[in-house]
């Protein structure tokens, strides 16, 4: 389509969307000003439907005018929000829904590029899931659970979720199911099913963990990506689905042909990552401004994260007490502008090459100074790089050094055809050349390569020619295993003494019976001359598909904008990404220490988070520990007993598990949690890093797996 036609089509779509938005606004205004007031007045008199009557029942001390006034304010705010965010969505939709935008910023991609993004995303989520200890959630008291976002609805529905989180066995089963589904998504088996299923399982997995801790952000961006990939053809490349089709001779997309549909899919994933980082920077700018780079604010952040009990023991950031302010100010200003400029990744190929590397270095610095490991975000930076050029470069260098490896196979053998098609799919460095010996001028081939092969030899066993040397049968497969990276891990096993003897006999049996093992049908056609491994290609719809992806990008940007503007936190849909947006400039930090008292009177350090594995990462137990020193007051002005009791039960569970896992000389009879305060501005060189402000002690029976709470 030419540029004029593209512009006309984009304008038509934008006009239709604008008309739909105006009609929706008109209907809303009619409802808000004509229908809703009548309904409110009717409900106030008790003449409406029961559910509306109950909303006003018991509030007779308020006049109907007050209810109408509240409604008008709410309606006005919604109208403004609908108009503002609707226009934002319209602008984003118009911008992305054009060939000009596609050519300048999106570009085409191969099915392998998108398949690699799927494998990376699912692999990150699989690694993250395997590092967790979800079954330990069952040890925690129910008072420690505070469902977030959608999780509140799931607990309210009759799904048995409350029974699931109370059962160690069922949580272990669910974790295993999640790992299996994510593994299948990583290798690309039944991607149409397992990718969205993996997104749901990981959402539920992360939701259960957050319900007992707080709304942390690890794993959130990969969850965005796997959700987006559920709407894309991400199984067309680097997948078992593709392998099975190739083996059966079914048509698959050309692996070397870049198409718009894969480019749009890739770009939508880029948008999810870039907008997230951008919003993180905007939150810092919104709540801290340029003063976010204040040295004391950053010191407080580094010191508190270091002193809070975490899974890593180093305290390198505490050496900053001797450092001048200017490096910290520079660091803060750099992070502020670095994150605010992340949006340029979507529009500049140069920035797209540099910013992900800087981001990985930035997260490494966070790990060193704050002991918070964003392993998912570090690995996720690879989605911005295409390693096709590197792969081809390696292949050319290997070919120039060692030459191509020729595989002579029987083109009349269905099993042989399937085998070479599979080998061709694994040949990522293009090392192999497949030759059907039945279509080969064997005399000319022997003369050119200095060999003496016969039809009888080739009909009996497969021959692999590497660097002028023929390898027969099983030994040919050993050569192929060294050439194909997917087999590198198992190739050393093929050289173990005795394995060759078994391999020769297994291969001999298969070779002798190859025509009987698989009958040729429509799924294993004989390849045509010059077709190499006989790969059947299909034509993917190569029309530019901006409409679907423009919708996805627009909706995502509007949701992120709403979350940012209203500071909404609703797992897993809404989050404003206000990570460290408001710093502590008081010069004082608070943190916790836990110690155990033994029967002998000795006091030993204890990390309570290690007892419950689900809370051992990144200070997830901190909200529970804070409840022991809660200053929240109830309606009578008294301290919230429920919060304190939940914390004490958690300490009781942690102490009991600690004793259960400890030797007799390490068991404790009391677990003490201390709240420490350190004013690093007035006493920066304090070797104790503050003093104890308050403490809570629970009694632990060293002989029992369940302790007894005391006041």
SS3 59: coil
- Does this model's pTM top 0.75? My answer is yes
* E-only strand ranges, 117-189: none
Length in residues, the chain:
711
Low-confidence ranges of the chain (pLDDT < 50): 1, 521-523, 526-532, 542, 544, 633-636, 640, 706-711
pLDDT of residue 152: 92
d(CA 361, CA 367): 10
pLDDT tens digits along 681-697: 999 889 999 999 999 99
Backbone angles phi, psi at 230, to 5 degrees: -65, -20
CB 614 within 8 A of CB 209: yes
pLDDT of residue 311: 81
Backbone angles phi, psi at 699, to 5 degrees: -85, 135
CB 128 within 8 A of CB 219: yes
* Cα atoms in the Cβ-side hemisphere of radius 13 Å centred on 45: 7
pLDDT of residue 220: 93
**Residue 43, strand partner residues:** none
d(CA 414, CA 560): 53
pLDDT tens digits along 513-551: 777 766 654 445 544 433 445 556 665 554 546 678 988
């Amino acid at each position: 389509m030419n540029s004029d036609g593209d512009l006309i089509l984009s304008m038509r779509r934008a006009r239709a969307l604008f008309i739909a938005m105006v009609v929706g606004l008109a209907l809303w205004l009619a409802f808000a000003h004509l229908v809703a007031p009548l309904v409110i007045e009717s409900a106030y008199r008790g003449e409406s439907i029961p559910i509306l009557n109950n909303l006003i029942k018991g509030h007779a001390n308020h006049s109907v005018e007050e209810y109408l006034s509240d409604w008008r304010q709410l309606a006005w705010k919604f109208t403004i929000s609908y108009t503002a965010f609707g226009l934002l969505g319209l602008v984003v939709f118009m911008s992305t829904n054009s060939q000009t935008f596609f050519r300048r910023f999106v570009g085409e991609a191969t099915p392998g590029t998108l398949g690699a993004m799927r494998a990376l995303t699912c692999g990150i989520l699989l690694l993250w899931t395997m590092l967790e200890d979800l079954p330990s959630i069952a040890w925690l008291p129910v008072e420690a659970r505070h469902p977030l976002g959608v999780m509140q609805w799931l607990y309210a529905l009759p799904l048995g979720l409350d029974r699931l989180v109370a059962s160690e066995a069922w949580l272990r089963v669910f974790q295993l199911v999640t790992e299996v589904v994510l593994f299948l998504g990583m290798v690309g088996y039944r991607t149409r099913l397992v990718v969205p299923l993996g997104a749901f399982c990981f959402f539920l997995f992360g939701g259960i963990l957050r319900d007992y801790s707080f709304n942390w952000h690890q794993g959130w961006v990969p969850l965005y990506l796997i959700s987006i990939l559920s709407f894309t053809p991400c199984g067309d490349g680097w997948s078992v689905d593709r392998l099975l089709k190739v083996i059966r001779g079914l048509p698959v997309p050309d692996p070397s042909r870049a198409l718009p549909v894969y480019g749009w899919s890739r770009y939508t994933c880029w948008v999810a990552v870039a907008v997230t980082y951008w919003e993180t920077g905007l939150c810092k700018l919104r709540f801290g401004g340029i003063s976010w780079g204040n040295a004391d604010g950053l010191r407080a952040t580094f010191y508190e994260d270091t002193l809070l009990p975490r899974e890593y023991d180093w305290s390198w950031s505490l050496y900053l007490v001797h450092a001048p302010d200017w490096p910290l100010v520079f660091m803060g200003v750099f992070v502020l502008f670095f994150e605010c400029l992340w949006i340029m990744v979507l529009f500049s190929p140069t920035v797209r090459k540099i910013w992900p590397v800087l981001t990985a270095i930035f997260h490494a610095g966070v790990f060193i100074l704050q002991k918070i490991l964003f392993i998912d975000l570090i690995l996720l930076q690879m989605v911005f790089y295409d390693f096709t050029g590197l792969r081809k470069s390696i292949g050319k260098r290997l070919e120039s050094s060692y030459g191509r490896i020729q595989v002579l196979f029987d083109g009349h053998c269905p099993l042989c055809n399937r085998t070479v098609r599979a080998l061709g799919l694994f040949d990522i460095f293009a090392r192999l050349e497949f030759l059907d010996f039945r279509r080969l001028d064997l005399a000319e081939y022997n003369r050119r390569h200095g060999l003496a092969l016969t039809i009888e030899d080739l009909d009996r066993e497969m021959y692999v020619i590497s660097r002028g040397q023929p390898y027969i049968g099983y030994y040919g497969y050993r050569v192929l295993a060294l050439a194909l990276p997917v087999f590198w891990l198992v190739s050393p096993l093929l050289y173990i003494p005795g394995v060759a003897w078994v391999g020769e006999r297994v291969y001999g049996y298969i070779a002798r019976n190859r025509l009987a093992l698989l009958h040729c049908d429509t799924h294993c056609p004989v390849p045509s001359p010059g077709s190499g491994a006989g790969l059947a290609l299909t034509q993917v719809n190569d029309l530019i598909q901006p409409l679907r992806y423009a919708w996805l990008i627009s909706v995502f940007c509007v949701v992120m904008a709403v979350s940012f503007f209203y500071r909404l936190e609703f797992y897993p849909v809404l989050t404003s990404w206000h990570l460290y947006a408001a710093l502590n400039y008081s010069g004082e930090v608070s943190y916790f220490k836990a110690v155990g008292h033994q029967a002998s009177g000795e006091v030993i350090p204890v990390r309570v988070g290690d007892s419950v594995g689900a809370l051992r990462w990144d200070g997830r137990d901190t909200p529970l520990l804070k409840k022991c020193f809660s200053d929240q007051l109830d309606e009578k002005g008294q301290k919230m007993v429920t919060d304190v009791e939940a914390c004490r039960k958690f300490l009781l569970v942690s102490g009991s598990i600690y004793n259960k896992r400890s030797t007799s000389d390490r068991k404790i009879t009391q677990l003490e949690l201390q709240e420490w305060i350190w004013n690093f501005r007035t006493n920066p060189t304090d070797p104790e890093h503050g003093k104890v402000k308050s403490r809570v002690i629970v009694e632990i029976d060293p002989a029992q797996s369940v302790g007894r709470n005391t006041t």
